[in-house]
Chain A
Amino acid sequence: MIDFGYNINADRQIDYDRNDRRLARYILEHEPTFRICISCGTCTATCSAGNFTYLNLREMIVLIKRGEAKNIKSDIEKCMLCGKCQLACPRGVNTRNIILTINRAIERLDF
């Protein structure tokens, strides 16, 4: 085939039926404010651990909702639970409890 400099991207469709949404359901059940995050990223901007690593709470929340959180375990371990994200969040998302709930879910749902 002649290379015109274009190619077809791999399929990026999110298949909610196939994704593992157990974690999202578990968090919603235990911390309802998980629902009201608007992905503004303020939490990530202020994150103590994010200053040194690629810990990104905003992204994590999005991926969990989609059921695509793959590195969740190693990411979440880096959190210092310092609470800056929670204080900065404009929506009043209980981020520390989301993190603790993820911790528990990892143990209980066997991620």
Chain B
Amino acid sequence: MKDLTFDFFVVPFALALIALLGILAVKYSGWIRGFSSEDKNLMRKGIFSVKSLYALKEVFTESLLHRKMFKRNILLGYMHMSFAFGWFLLILTGNIESRIYSRVHINPPYYPIFLKYFVHDKRVLTFELTSVPGIFRFLMDLILFMLLSGLVLALIKRARSNWFGLKRTTRHTVFDRTAITALWLIFPLRLLAESFTAGQYLGGGFLTNNLGRLFANFLPVEYLSYPTWWAYSIMLGIFFITLPYSRFMHIPTEVLLIFLRNWGIKPSKGSSNISEIEVYSCPRCGVCLDACPVYAVKQNSTPPVYFLQTVRNNKIKENVTFDCLLCGKCQEYCPIGIHNNALRISQRAAFFNNSNGSFDYLPQPLIRKADVAYFAGCMSHLTPSIKKSMLSVFTKAGIDYNFLDADGSICCGRPLIMAGKEKQARLLREHNRNLIIGSSCKVLVTSCPICNKVFKEDYNLNIEVLHHTQYLLRLVEEGKLNMVKSARKVVYHDPCELGRGSGIYEEPRILISKIAELIPGANERTDSICCGGSLGNTEISSGKRHEIKNLAIESLLINQPEIIVTACPLCKKTLQNDTEIQVADISEIVVGALAKNEPATTHQKMEINPVLW
């Protein structure tokens, strides 16, 4: 055994590692120092609590094993896992292995990494798995093999991204490309360095020993091994130095993010440092590209992967920031769980400095008190059959209700929030809040999912807020509505704000199943495609909206339904202009199913025009 624990080739690695740790320390402490006192408190309470254990578990399943990536595609999952978990195991096992050889307990950090240069243990035969060092050699070679298999997959992914469940892959920056080249070279160089050394001195595991002996037959391994160790160290150095400026910054940052999230720190209104940490946690995996309907119609800079890049580089473009439907599909796909909508909205706010608004022109009506308050919202006023259907249901079920915005639509304020005008939205909220509280209702029912979301999340109402899908289902289950089931085939379109936005997927489906035969579309639940009408996007042209709508319709019609049912007035209005088949709101089909049972009066028939079964 050579008793040697230093060589100059470790310098590039060591210096780069020190620099990297320095940069990370500066960045992270800056972020954490900038936290609000509330967030800092959460941190203090969280650190030594069981929450940290959950965080550790999540780091293991997500950052190392890439569980979510596996769920999306096995090859993609394996590729990411082999790099992340493989490298982690290499460091961990390497450290344990180095303890076996070293006589001291504290080694310089480079020692395990370059161990095979410093130690060539000829006492152990290659496949001798009975001795402890032999087992470690075997393990280390196995892990290296796993890493190299990931590398092969990464190369294949370049040419065949669809095998990995990705239709499209991301464009990379110069730093990304440098870092990835270094990363891809690190492991082959390690293999060569270890093999050459093994060829020179014998030793090594099943991989490096055999390769080494093979090389020794026709290569001057004794001259090649030393420069290869240098190259390996330099490559590690390049990777570490470029890491903070490339997509690989996500590796350490994601771990920090997971801990912070588990301690309860969330992005708040008006952005916060955790949002910035999210920005740096994006590995530019490109999974969001395939999710994004705006990207599907060739608006290339919309998806989060590119948007986040502009935020990170401080090169935010106004049109890119606003050219997003806020449909939330990218969020559902994102393996890191980045709150892209919140981030985008907070960036939008930055474009308005002093936009005031005053809604003091709104009248303060006298409010009759009732059990149930109904808020139709602007969009239902634009699709009157929905509002009338709801009023008819209230009457038929004998509900004591109060129609809050009967005298004209007052916006709930969410469209203003979506446009980045939170200050103005607050004024509308105050007005509506007075209306709702004044009605002393126990339940607030809305027809528009946009209103529903904002009432639930931003109004602080302390009363039950239900979307009409939920409320209608409740009435049916309480036996207040008798419906006749028909055999018509219905497909359900999940509105973004109701589904992904508020997590309401099941109630509409249960309700429809009671009325008709529910058949699936191609993109269901979290995977549904936005109708294109979203108020989230203020930039998009009507032509592009149209293309997105066609994508949605195509996906809905796949199983030849007779009718498309949705639960959002805006979706209904958007979809209905372009399909041969009927588009209806869920409240309309409920009224349709009632109508047969207890025929509506002629007056109602004319007004509501219920969906005929």
Contact = CB atoms under 8 A, between A and B. Distances in A.
A100 interface: yes
A55 to B, nearest CB: 9
Interface residues of B, number: 36
B352 A84 contact: no
Given A46-B382, A52-B362, A84-B382, A107 B353 contact: yes
A14 B541 CA distance: 32
B355 A107 contact: yes
Contacts of A46: 382
B427 to A, nearest CB: 10
B359 interface: yes
B252 interface: no
B351 interface: yes
A82 interface: yes
B409 A78 contact: no
Contact of B408 (A33, A52, A100): A52
A78 B359 contact: yes
A63 interface: no
Nearest to A107: B353
Interface stretch (B82-90, B410-418, B493-501): B410-418
Contacts of A82: 378-379, 409, 411, 415, 535
A104 interface: yes
A86 B574 CA distance: 11
A80 B416 contact: yes
Nearest to B363: A52
**A interface bracket (residues with beta carbon within 8 Å of B):** 20 to 34
B538 A97 contact: yes
Given A48-B408, A52-B361, A52-B408, A94 B351 contact: no
Given A52-B361, A78-B358, 16 more contacts: A51-B409, A80-B378, A80-B413, A80-B428, A81-B411, A81-B419, A82-B415, A96-B419, A97-B322, A97-B538, A97-B539, A100-B322, A100-B419, A103-B352, A104-B351, A107-B353
B547 to A, nearest CB: 13
Contacts, number: 85
B337 interface: no
B378 A96 contact: no
19 contacts: A33-B541, A48-B411, A51-B408, A51-B409, A52-B361, A77-B357, A78-B358, A81-B411, A81-B421, A84-B379, A84-B409, A87-B570, A87-B574, A94-B541, A94-B542, A97-B539, A100-B322, A107-B352, A107-B353
B311 to A, nearest CB: 19
Interface string A70-97: 0000000111111110011000101011
A8 to B, nearest CB: 38
Contacts of B574: 87
Contacts of A94: 538, 541-542
Nearest to A92: B542
A80 B410 contact: yes
Given A48-B410, A97-B538, A80 B415 contact: yes
A39 interface: no
A53 interface: yes
B497 to A, nearest CB: 13
Contact of B361 (A78, A88, A100, A103): A78
Contacts of A92: 542
